Amino acid sequence: MAKSYIFSKRYINNLFKDSSARSLASRLKRKVTKLPPRVPGGSSIADIALTKRFRLTPLNEAERELLADPQTLDLKESYQKNIENFIGTVKVPVGLAGPLRVNGLHAQGDYYVPLATSEAALVASYHRGSLLISEAGGCSSILLSEGVSRAPGFIFNNLSEVGLFVKWCVENLETFKEEAHKTTNHGRMQDMKVNVDGNHVYLIFEYKTGDASGQNMVTFATEAVVTYIVANAPIKPVHYFIEANLSGDKKASTQSFHSVRGKKVTAEVVLPKELVEKYLHTTPELMVKYWSISAIGGVLSGCIGTQGHYANGLAALYLACGQDVACVAESAIGITRLELTTEGHLYACVTLPNIMVGTVGGGTKLPSQQACLKILGFSGSGHAAAFAEVCAGLILAGELSIQGAICAHHFSRAHQKLARPTHGNEGV
């Protein structure tokens, strides 16, 4: 992105302060020399493979055990299908927030939510918001819709070929569904959208993925469909690609913001004025004023949606529960809204169109992640919809807590107290 003249001049001056243009060019020049040994072993988790990999690192024996500790080595078989070039595990602290009371279509009850993070004050913030919501009787949370897409792209010579190809595809949608369903017992193709850009065609296949998050499932299904298309279409594409970057996979996009990627969920709560004052040390009126200026700030900055910090809670929850953490890129968009009721209470809601969660497959079967899902009561099939509704409740708790801290002028104080403690912190 373009930078101002003053910034660029200052940066260039600092860049050449300690080195000449010739020395800088020498440092940046390609170096075609012999490479060091490649990391050996691929997906092997055998002891000899670990030993060979560790030889490439500067770690001594004690430091190696920080990654490959006895428990990790005892459980290493369980990691084999989730990692390549394995050398151990990284231990991220896990804390509990709650209870969080959720009154949903699928999630009903009081939940203790595991959050994995190294950021001080994060768990405390979500914990406070959860207690506030629960004491008010809980939040209402509804799964509105669901779907995961994959968007193959096809290149043709001209628009005439595009027209004939699209006509054939629309006429054969049911056959595409049959081909996709051969690859999975749980996923189902729901629909197909068509996008044409000159001689390019994007077919956006939308799937329901059951209790799995579904990225791999829809990839395998789409590959089967694309194979059928290339073999049977009367007009052959010049080139084709299984994903042409129109699905919104692992990125924030206005397309998924207006529709759904994963699970679209909304949650709401009405907080009596006295509870806002008790837990957040501020008032509903000031909370709404802050929401107003922060919402406009989000618009001015070009945010997709307007919200405070969805990524904080989602990343911690995804990491703890074996989700694809990269999906926070698309999951952490949405809208937070605060209003005053006629009685002077605080109405708050969040809507998240892209919650990418599952309770089977992927990292959900790893030992620690299984334990975290069991804490929630969501281990195994039949729980993905409830999990998504709890996600929305958790995010609502985090939004209330951070906005309350800012209104009460406690935001920096909380981080300073919890991130730089002089002694143990106990209590709520």
- Cβ–Cβ under 8 Å, residues 188 and 146: no
Q: Give kind and range of the element (H or E) at residue 230.
A: helix 215-232
Cα pseudo-dihedral 320, 323, 327, 331, rounded to 10? -70
Distance CA 338, CA 366 (A): 38
- Cβ–Cβ under 8 Å, residues 368 and 384: no
The CB-side HSE value for 4 (13 A sphere, CA atoms) comes to 3
Residue among 161, 249, 324, 399 flagged as catalytic: 324
Helix count (H) and strand count (E) of the chain?
17, 11
- Cβ–Cβ under 8 Å, residues 148 and 207: yes
Structure tokens belonging to residue 274: 């006295």
What phi, psi does 387 have (nearest 5°)? -60, -45
Q: What is the DSSP secondary structure assignment for residue 223, as one 8-state letter?
A: H
- Cβ–Cβ under 8 Å, residues 287 and 276: yes
Concerning whether 324 is annotated as a catalytic residue, the answer is yes
AA letter at 15: L
Residue in the structure block whose two tokens are 């006895």: 70
Relative orientation angle of helices 310-320 and 122-135, to the nearest 10 degrees: 100
SS3 string, 10-32, reads HHHHHHCCCCCHHHHHHHHCCCC
Q: What share of the chain is helix, strand, coil (3-state, %, to 5)?
A: 45, 20, 35
Nearest-5° Cα angle at 68, 64 to 71 = 145
Q: How many C-beta atoms surround the C-beta of residue 386 within 10 A?
A: 23
Residue among 65, 119, 135, 277 flagged as catalytic: 119
- Cβ–Cβ under 8 Å, residues 101 and 139: yes
Concerning whether 186 is annotated as a catalytic residue, the answer is no
What is 387-413 written as a DSSP string? Answer: HHHHHHHHHHHHHHHHHHHHHTT-HHH
Provide the phi-psi class of 38: left if phi over 0, else alpha when psi is between -120 and 50, else beta.
beta
Concerning whether 74 is annotated as a catalytic residue, the answer is no
AA letter at 408: A
Distance CA 278, CA 135 (A): 11
Active site residues: 119, 324, 415
